[in-house]
Amino acid sequence: MKFFDAYFLELSSLFDSADSGGLLAAVDLIDASSASGGKIVIAGNGGSAAIASHIAVDLTKAAGRRAQAFHDPGLITCFANDYGYGQWVAQALESYADQGDVAILISSSGQSENILNGAKRASELGLSVLTLSGFEASNPLRGMGNVNLWVDSSTYNYVELTHQAWLLAVVDCLIERDQINVDSFTE
């Protein structure tokens, strides 16, 4: 089989493995937070940080939910310098998150120290937590959220592409849910 045929076949199977119940629970977490005036804060490292940024923009602009990605270099380097890289997400949540917010924390391996500490701190702050991870089924991040979405792959690009597709599906579900609610009032 040609490389690209095999590549997209594997990616397609990962997309198809989506936990629809978990994705709907993620939609509900975001909706509940938004309805009560909360916001969504999102963090990741590397490619996951890029996903966080993309999803924050789409949640805000397309889905009408307040969202913020922790990706500003000044924020990251300041907090990492003062508290250590493993603590910067936890400290950013401490500084920026409010009760009723949702923290979306993304780590392909599920073992990034800063994301694990962020998940712990988010729970201590009373935030709802949505985690996205991959690699080992027993990775520590997978059990730290109210909703935990896991990709059964140990290939970074497969995990990251699947995380992005699932999160974009959540955004699109929120948009459609809003459209249905609006249409139900205008008929």
Short-list 94, 135, 99, 147, CA closest to 117: 94
Q: CA-CA distance, 127 to 74, in Å (whole number)?
A: 24
- pLDDT value for 30: 98
The DSSP code sequence of 8-30 is: HHHHHHHHHT--HHHHHHHHHHH
Mean pLDDT to the nearest integer, 139-146: 98
CA distance 89 to 62: 26
What pLDDT is recorded for position 84?
98
What's the one-letter identity of residue 44?
A: G
- Using the predicted structure, report yes or no on whether residue 186 has a pLDDT greater than 70: no
> What are the structural domains of the chain?
3-186 (3.40.50.10490)
Separation of alpha carbons 30 and 65, rounded Å: 8
| Rounded Cα distance, 120 and 74, in Å | 23
Question: Is residue 181 very low, low, confident or very high in pLDDT (cuts 50, 70, 90)?
Answer: confident
Helix (H) or strand (E) holding 76: helix 73-83
Lowest mean pLDDT among 95-99, 113-117, 167-171, 176-180: 176-180
Q: What percent of the chain has pLDDT over 90?
A: 95
Distance CA 55, CA 58 (A): 5
Q: What's the chain's average pLDDT?
A: 95
